[in-house]
Structure 1
Amino acid sequence: MVDVGEVASAVLPYLSAVAGAYGSAVVQRVSDGAADATADATLGAGRRLARRLFGSSRSSQVQSALVDLAGRPGDEGLADVLRAQVRAALAADLSLLADVVQLLRAAGGKFEVSVSNSQGVQVGDGNTQTNTFNAPPR
C-alpha cells in the first residue's frame, strides 16, 4: 500500500524546484507544452508532476499553493501548505496517485529511498550528516 503522505512529501522537492526556477510565472511555464531547453532533470520531472497535478479535481488549490511558494521560495509554511494540497489531491484520486508514483519512479534517477520510523535522512552524493539522538546533557 502506498502512503499518500510519503508520496506528497516526495513530490515537494520537485515542485519547489519548479517554483524557485519559474517564480510567479510557474503555472504558465508548467502548463506550456514546449520543453524548456535549459531545464535539468529535476525541473523536467517537476514540470511533469505539476502538469499531472494540474489535471486533478483539486487543481486550483494545488496551483494556488504553488504560486504562493513561488512568491516566497524557501518558506517552510508555504511548502507545508503545498504538501497538504498535494496530499489532498492524491487522497481524492487513486488514479492520480498511481500516475504520480510512476512519475516519481521515472524521475528517481540513481537514488531510491524507503524510510520508516526515521529521525533523520539525507540522500545524495558527497554529503555529510551528523545526528545525535538522546544525547546526555552536557
Structure 2
Amino acid sequence: PAFLLLTKADISTVVDGPSFCDFPAYQVSSKTGEGLDQLRRAISSFLAGDYLSSAESVMLTERRHHEALLFCVDSLGRAESFLDDSSSLELLALELRESLYHLGQISGETTTEALLDDIFSGFCIGK
C-alpha cells in the first residue's frame, strides 16, 4: 500500500493521479496545508484497518529496505528456477546466499561501507 501525493495544490489545478499508478492520489500543499486533513484521514483509516494486523503485512519506511527486499525477491525467483535441476545446486545455493545477504541489509546483519554511507547520507550534522 502506498499513497501518491501530488504537491503544490495551492498553485496548480486539480489533476488525477497518473494512469500507470493504482495508488490513491491526494493533492496537498505544504505551504497552505490544503489537503492534509484528507490525507491524515486516509492514513488513519489505513492504519485502523486490519491490513497491518495480518500476518502477511509489512511496512517498509526506508527506500533502501524496499530496494533490498526487491533484490531478495529477484534472487529467490532465480533460485526457484534451479530447484528442478540437480546440476544447478551450486547456482541455487548462490542465489539463496544472495537473498539472505539482502535480507541482512534490512535486519542489520549485513553491513557494507556503501550501506553505511547511504544510511548516514540522510543525516544533517550541524556545525
Highest CA radius of gyration, 1 or 2?
2
Q: TM-score, normalization: structure 2?
A: 0.33
Larger strand proportion of the pair:
2
Which structure has more relative contact order (CA 8 Å, sep 6+)? It is: 1
Q: TM-score, normalization: structure 1?
A: 0.31
Larger helix proportion of the pair:
1
